[in-house]
Amino acid sequence: MSPTSTPPNAPAGTKRERRKEARPGELLEAALDLFVEKGFAATRVDEVAARAGVSKGTLFLYFPSKEELFKAVVRHNIAGRFEEWRGELESFEGNTSELLQYCYQVWWERIGATKASGITKLMFSEAQNFPEITEFYQQEVILPGQALIRRIVERGIERGEFRPVPLDYIVHVVLAPMIFLMMWKHSVGACIPDSLGLRPELYIEAQIDNVLHGLLVRPPASPPIPSPSSPSLPPSRGT
Amino acid sequence: MSPTSTPPNAPAGTKRERRKEARPGELLEAALDLFVEKGFAATRVDEVAARAGVSKGTLFLYFPSKEELFKAVVRHNIAGRFEEWRGELESFEGNTSELLQYCYQVWWERIGATKASGITKLMFSEAQNFPEITEFYQQEVILPGQALIRRIVERGIERGEFRPVPLDYIVHVVLAPMIFLMMWKHSVGACIPDSLGLRPELYIEAQIDNVLHGLLVRPPASPPIPSPSSPSLPPSRGT
Amino acid sequence: MSPTSTPPNAPAGTKRERRKEARPGELLEAALDLFVEKGFAATRVDEVAARAGVSKGTLFLYFPSKEELFKAVVRHNIAGRFEEWRGELESFEGNTSELLQYCYQVWWERIGATKASGITKLMFSEAQNFPEITEFYQQEVILPGQALIRRIVERGIERGEFRPVPLDYIVHVVLAPMIFLMMWKHSVGACIPDSLGLRPELYIEAQIDNVLHGLLVRPPASPPIPSPSSPSLPPSRGT
Amino acid sequence: MSPTSTPPNAPAGTKRERRKEARPGELLEAALDLFVEKGFAATRVDEVAARAGVSKGTLFLYFPSKEELFKAVVRHNIAGRFEEWRGELESFEGNTSELLQYCYQVWWERIGATKASGITKLMFSEAQNFPEITEFYQQEVILPGQALIRRIVERGIERGEFRPVPLDYIVHVVLAPMIFLMMWKHSVGACIPDSLGLRPELYIEAQIDNVLHGLLVRPPASPPIPSPSSPSLPPSRGT
DNA sequence: GATGAATGAGTGTTCATTCAT
DNA sequence: TATGAATGAACACTCATTCAT
């Protein structure tokens, strides 16, 4: 019964013990999946519990209501990533054009391509039903994100790489393509695969190229955007 | 159709009868408002009926179910405006840069700034729960819209005004800012006014400027984006 | 299908029409029965609805919650009877001893022996769970009832029939037996019939006799209390 | 049993062990409080356990179900005090009027004024939901109590002090005021303090005075009931 | 013995849908 | 055609009870 009596081949920590710690996380993950897939209202708490492998009652042991579960899902999936990013940004060595590209790519790897992108879709879809959490999202996600972008653009301007564009709107120019991609992925894109064109990565490159053309003092002379009908791609679907 | 055209001796055209004709439209309008604001599930049919000034039973006289009402709302608000626009496009006289700007502005006046933008928010929010209607939307709105943009960009390339960019992705570069704006307006923007920055019109101008920089063979040398606060910007903000 | 086509032998007024008006009353009656029988918590709203012959949903059409149903039951069953009684009291012609007896008997006929007595049991049982309605009961039932009794005793004292007893406590001396009888009837008495002795009427007479002995300046010399084994009763049940 | 009797070297008698012994009693006490206050159904076992300072699981170690806990609470609080009282009664020296007064006062000190009165409130409130235990209560409390009162009244009649009243009902005349007082205390009285008038002690005196007037062959000529406000009182308490 | 995490049957309440009038 | 009372399936949430530790 004492931990020392556990046979060495037994999995360390009993099933129950291990579960207890993991429960909230498992529930949050299951809830994220379902909320993103079906929306808040169409998601049944039984389903969330079942997907997390527990009973309905257990869910309410950890979250006092479906609404609080929703809030927890949103909060949990945007835990301070911005600190980390701000650090990377400050210590970035290359030129700002590279920094911006790096930013898009890191965002795609860590957010856009992951389930976390579903949170954004969720927020836009349910914003009006959860004004309180929308405010939270605005403070914790949107404003820090905009600040980050603003810093990058400022850096470009300061270094003479970027044209002196008005910052208040340029942040939207940079961010809108990302947000659009997340919305698309979790709505039309989920129903009609390939409706975006071919690959999100190429979509992002096109957006980067476009944004940099708008920002750079000396934009590249020729279009570096890879064409979907270029030889590296199967020609099966091109125009 | 206008009240003045009703002959004075006609018994038809009474208030009652005219309302009868108008019922479905009033219901669709009320439903659009509420669906956009709260989503499909969180909208109560009682509320729709009440806002349309009829009883709940009457609603089901015109629409066999809440789901059919939803579909009707989407279908009704996806009038084929594209024919009309294609016409304007074909007969447009100016250069393609002007045409693209015209396009953005017409879109903003007729869609973006009106309630019609709500339907886009609705579609993105509910797409996964209504795959058939998402397919319908794809066919009736997205593809025609993309085709329109593609034609414009092709025109620019043909005329030597635009760089030979890959069309498959450039349509998203052009459309994403519009879609983002509609989503924003009906979600975060509705909860936190002014969270976008200052004015949608300036946001659009910034996007146009950026897109044209990416497309034009000879982009304007200096930033033409009007800043809401400073006349020319240079030292006003940078450290 | 038109009303005029109804055969003359059809019951006037359709089932539905008649029900609509009657619903709240039927529900209140069913609820009274069940609340008195099982208490607030142990009563299921389905059961109330079923006993009233409607569905659960219908109940919530008339009462927004189980708690409001409970409150309505209490309020409904104590509709201003005190006005009526005060009138009878003021115009009573006989001596006060007779008036007090009349009072007990009328109370028994109209309250004690009817379902209305269940309300009192209910209030005492649930008082702490419904402080708000307990306050209401205190104002609308207890205080008026005490005032009524006080007036009667005052009348007796004024006319020289009663000893000058302290009014503040005498009202409890008069009322306690009634309340006890209601409590008994709906608790022990309902489980163990005849546990009270034989008949409530005789219990009341004994209480009247006792109270009058305490009040009257010249009490009757010999015990007028009917004995349960006295010849005036049917011998069917005697000891 | 007292702590001082524990030998200093005894390992038994540690805090832990003593508590272990006391567990059931602490649970019964906590349960009594809560059942009296809120009724059976509205009382949560978590709350009982928490008030007793143990976990919910521990409660079920001692009582197999909430219902059995309830029964145990009632049984536990119905200790056979009647034997003791019967002894006091048999050896009472004074006249029967004094005996009856003594009886009321002893009851008030030992039952009415203590938490034990709650059990009566509980029984009357829950009787219908627990018929078996109501039967038990009837056998163990009500009938012995009635027998006790009956003996006293018989004594009075035998000694020529009391009128020959019918015993079957007079026991209720004597007991009803006590029961009413207990019900009041734990219902309306708990919600609306002072709603009874002034002090329970005075209420009891009034009831004693009234009962004796009804019983005594030679009742006192003038009202001996102390009025809280009337001038006939010794000035110790009056205005 | 004691714990408290887990359970799931049961309950109050909602709301799309029906239908007699 | 229009109503709105009635329905009942479906849902969020509770809580007595269990049991592995």
**Looking at residue C19, what is its pLDDT?**
62
Least confident of B17-21, B24-28, B71-75, B234-238: B234-238
CA of C53 to C1' of F7 (A): 12
B interface test, pick of A137, A180, A205 with most B CB neighbours within 10 Å: A180
Q: Phi first, then psi: what are they for C186, rounded to 5°? A: -100, 15
Q: Which residue's CA lies closest to nucleotide E14 at its C1' atom? A: C57
Closest-CA distance of chain A to residue B43, Å: 10
> Is B43's CB less than 7 Å from nucleic acid strand E?
yes
Query: Kindly report the CA angle at D191 between D187 and D195, in degrees rounded to 5?
Result: 85
CA of B55 to C1' of E11 (A): 31
> Over the range B47-60, which residues count as b (16 or more CB within 10 Å of their CB) and which as e?
bbbeebebeeeebe
Nucleotides of F under 7 A from a protein CB: 1-21
Burial class (CB in 10 A: 0-12, 13-18, 19+), B176: buried
Nearest residue on chain C to D164, judged by CA atoms?
Answer: C223
Q: Which residue's CA lies closest to nucleotide F15 at its C1' atom? A: D44
| Residue of higher predicted confidence among A135 and B84 | A135
Return all residues near A45 (Cβ < 8 A) that are at least 6 apart.
Answer: A56, A59, A60, A66, A69
> Is B60's CB less than 7 Å from nucleic acid strand E?
yes
Closest-CA distance of chain A to residue B62, Å: 25
Any chain D CB within 8 A of the CB of C163? yes
- Give the closest nucleotide to B54 (alpha carbon vs C1'): F2
**Looking at residue C65, what is its pLDDT?**
96
Any chain C CB within 8 A of the CB of D206? yes
Closest-CA distance of chain C to residue D207, Å: 6
Q: Which two tokens stand for residue A74?
A: 């949103």
Checking if the pLDDT of D235 tops 50, the result is no
CA of C28 to C1' of E18 (A): 26
Nearest residue on chain A to B188, judged by CA atoms?
Answer: A127
pLDDT in tens, D91-109: 999 999 999 999 999 999 9
Any chain C CB within 8 A of the CB of D200? no
**Looking at residue B1, what is its pLDDT?**
38
Q: Which residue's CA lies closest to nucleotide F19 at its C1' atom? A: D57
Q: Which residue's CA lies closest to nucleotide F18 at its C1' atom? A: D57
**Looking at residue B173, what is its pLDDT?**
93
Q: Which two tokens stand for residue D76?
A: 């536990």
> Over the range C4-16, which residues count as b (16 or more CB within 10 Å of their CB) and which as e?
eeeeeeeeeeeee
Burial class (CB in 10 A: 0-12, 13-18, 19+), D228: middle
Distance CA D188, CA C131 (A): 9
Query: Kindly report the CA angle at A211 between A210 and A215, in degrees rounded to 5?
Result: 120
Half-sphere exposure of D7 (CA within 13 A, CB side): 4
CA of A121 to C1' of E9 (A): 36
Checking if the pLDDT of B141 tops 50, the result is yes
Checking if the pLDDT of D230 tops 70, the result is no
Q: How far apart are the first and last CA of chain B?
A: 63
| Residue of higher predicted confidence among D6 and A93 | A93
Please state the three-class secondary structure of chain D as a single string: CCHHHCCCCCCCCCHHHHHHHHHHHHHHHHHHHHHHHHHHHHCCHHHHHHHHCCCHHHHHHHCCCHHHHHHHHHHHCCCCHHHHHHHHHHCCCCCHHHHHHHHHHHHHHHHHCCCCHHHHHHHHHHHHHCHHHHHHHHHHHHHHHHHHHHHHHHHHHHCCCECCCCHHHHHHHHHHHHHHHHHHHCCHHHHCCCCCCCCHHHHHHHHHHHHHHHHECCCCCCCCCCCCCCCCCCCCCCC
pLDDT in tens, A83-104: 888 888 889 999 999 999 999 9
pLDDT in tens, D32-75: 999 999 999 999 999 999 999 999 999 999 999 999 999 999 98
Tokens 């020289």 locate to: C160
Q: How far apart are the first and last CA of chain A?
A: 69
**Looking at residue D222, what is its pLDDT?**
52
**Looking at residue D207, what is its pLDDT?**
93
- Chain B CB contacts of A197 under 8 Å are 168-169, 172
Distance CA B133, CA D171 (A): 80
Nearest residue on chain D to C122, judged by CA atoms?
Answer: D125
Question: Residue B41's pLDDT band (boundaries 50, 70, 90)?
Answer: very high
**Residue numbers of A between 31 and 70 with CB closer than 8 Å to B:** 37-42
- Give the closest nucleotide to C62 (alpha carbon vs C1'): F5
What mean pLDDT is predicted for residues B177-199? 89
Return all residues near B178 (Cβ < 8 A) that are at least 6 apart.
Answer: B104, B107, B112
Q: Which residue's CA lies closest to nucleotide F20 at its C1' atom? A: A16
> Does B touch C (3+ CB pairs < 8 Å)?
no
Please state the three-class secondary structure of C121-174 as a single string: HHHHHHHHHCHHHHHHHHHHHHHHHHHHHHHHHHHHHHCCCECCCCHHHHHHHH
What count of other Cβ atoms lies within 10 Å of the Cβ of residue B228? 11
CA of A233 to C1' of E9 (A): 58
Nearest to B177 by CA among B104, B90, B93, B98: B104
pLDDT in tens, A159-202: 999 989 889 889 999 999 999 999 999 999 999 987 776 688 89
Distance CA D72, CA D76 (A): 6
Any chain A CB within 8 A of the CB of B13? no
| Residue of higher predicted confidence among B216 and D30 | D30
Identify the chains in contact with A, defined as 3+ C-beta pairs within 8 A: B
**Looking at residue A198, what is its pLDDT?**
61
Q: Which of B30-34, B227-231, C87-91, D75-79 has the highest mean pLDDT?
A: B30-34
Checking if the pLDDT of D1 tops 80, the result is no
**Looking at residue A82, what is its pLDDT?**
81
Closest-CA distance of chain C to residue D169, Å: 6
Q: Phi first, then psi: what are they for B216, rounded to 5°? A: -65, 140
Residue pair A155/B238 in contact (Cβ under 8 Å)? The answer is: no
What count of other Cβ atoms lies within 10 Å of the Cβ of residue A225? 23
- Give the closest nucleotide to A23 (alpha carbon vs C1'): E5
Closest-CA distance of chain D to residue C5, Å: 52
CA of C10 to C1' of E12 (A): 39
Distance CA D203, CA D226 (A): 10
Residue pair C97/C220 in contact (Cβ under 8 Å)? The answer is: no
Any chain B CB within 8 A of the CB of A157? yes
Q: Do B206 and A163 touch (CB under 8 A)?
A: no
- Chain B CB contacts of A184 under 8 Å are 124
Checking if the pLDDT of B98 tops 60, the result is yes
pLDDT in tens, B147-185: 999 999 999 999 999 989 889 889 999 999 999 999 999
> Does C touch A (3+ CB pairs < 8 Å)?
no
pLDDT in tens, C49-105: 999 999 999 999 999 999 999 999 998 888 777 888 888 888 999 999 999 999 999
pLDDT in tens, A34-78: 999 999 999 999 999 999 999 999 999 999 999 999 999 998 888
Return the H-helix or E-strand segment holding A184. Answer: helix A167-185
Distance CA C30, CA C76 (A): 13
Nucleotides of E under 7 A from a protein CB: 1-21
What count of other Cβ atoms lies within 10 Å of the Cβ of residue D203? 22
Across chain B, mean pLDDT equals 83
Which residues of chain C carry a pLDDT beneath 70? 1-20, 197-198, 220-239
DSSP codes joined into one string, C187-205 = THHHHSTTTT-S-HHHHHH
Burial class (CB in 10 A: 0-12, 13-18, 19+), D194: exposed
Distance CA A104, CA D3 (A): 75
**Looking at residue B222, what is its pLDDT?**
52
Angle D200-215/C200-215 helices, nearest 10 degrees?
100
Distance CA D104, CA D148 (A): 12
Checking if the pLDDT of A2 tops 60, the result is no
- Chain C CB contacts of D182 under 8 Å are none
Q: Do A123 and B238 touch (CB under 8 A)?
A: no
- Chain A CB contacts of B165 under 8 Å are 223, 225
Distance CA B25, CA B13 (A): 17
Could you say which of A42, A121, A167 has the minimum Cβ distance to residue B129? A42
**Looking at residue B127, what is its pLDDT?**
95
Distance CA D8, CA C226 (A): 68
> Is C205's CB less than 7 Å from nucleic acid strand E?
no
Question: Residue B43's pLDDT band (boundaries 50, 70, 90)?
Answer: very high
Closest-CA distance of chain D to residue C138, Å: 8
Tokens 């279009």 locate to: A223
Question: Residue A236's pLDDT band (boundaries 50, 70, 90)?
Answer: very low
| Residue of higher predicted confidence among C179 and B219 | C179
pLDDT in tens, B104-130: 999 999 899 999 999 999 999 999 999
For residue A222, the SS3 value is: coil
Distance CA A140, CA C131 (A): 44
- Chain A CB contacts of B187 under 8 Å are 123-125, 127-128, 134
For residue C220, the SS3 value is: coil
DSSP codes joined into one string, chain B = --GGGS-TT-STT-HHHHHHHHHHHHHHHHHHHHHHHH-TTT--HHHHHHHHTS-HHHHHHH-SSHHHHHHHHHHHT---HHHHHHHHHHT--S-HHHHHHHHHHHHIIIIITSTTHHHHHHHHHHGGG-HHHHHHHIIIIIHHHHHHHHHHHHHHHHTTSB----HHHHHHHHHHHHHHHHHHHTTHHHHSTTTT-S-HHHHHHHHHHHHHHHHBSS--SS--PPPSS-SS-HHHH--
Distance CA B113, CA B34 (A): 18
Distance CA C2, CA C9 (A): 15
Q: Do A213 and B219 touch (CB under 8 A)?
A: yes
pLDDT in tens, D185-209: 999 999 998 877 668 889 999 999 9
**Residue numbers of D between 89 and 108 with CB closer than 8 Å to C:** none
Distance CA D48, CA D29 (A): 9
Burial class (CB in 10 A: 0-12, 13-18, 19+), D181: buried
What mean pLDDT is predicted for residues A197-214? 87
| Residue of higher predicted confidence among A228 and B237 | A228
Global pTM reads 0.83
- Give the closest nucleotide to A60 (alpha carbon vs C1'): F13
Question: Residue D3's pLDDT band (boundaries 50, 70, 90)?
Answer: very low
> Is C31's CB less than 7 Å from nucleic acid strand E?
no
What mean pLDDT is predicted for residues B19-43? 88
Distance CA B86, CA B73 (A): 24
Residue pair A185/B179 in contact (Cβ under 8 Å)? The answer is: no
| Residue ranges of domains in chain A, CATH in brackets | 16-73 (1.10.10.60), 78-215 (1.10.357)
CA of A21 to C1' of E5 (A): 11
Subset of residues 14-53 in chain D with CB less than 7 angstroms from any atom in strand E: 19-20, 23
What is the amino acid identity at position A197?
Answer: G
Name the CA radius of gyration of chain A, rounded. Answer: 22
Subset of residues 17-56 in chain A with CB less than 7 angstroms from any atom in strand F: 17, 43-46, 56
Least confident of A15-19, A157-161, D231-235: D231-235
Q: Do A138 and B203 touch (CB under 8 A)?
A: no
Could you say which of B124, B173, B206 has the minimum Cβ distance to residue A187? B124
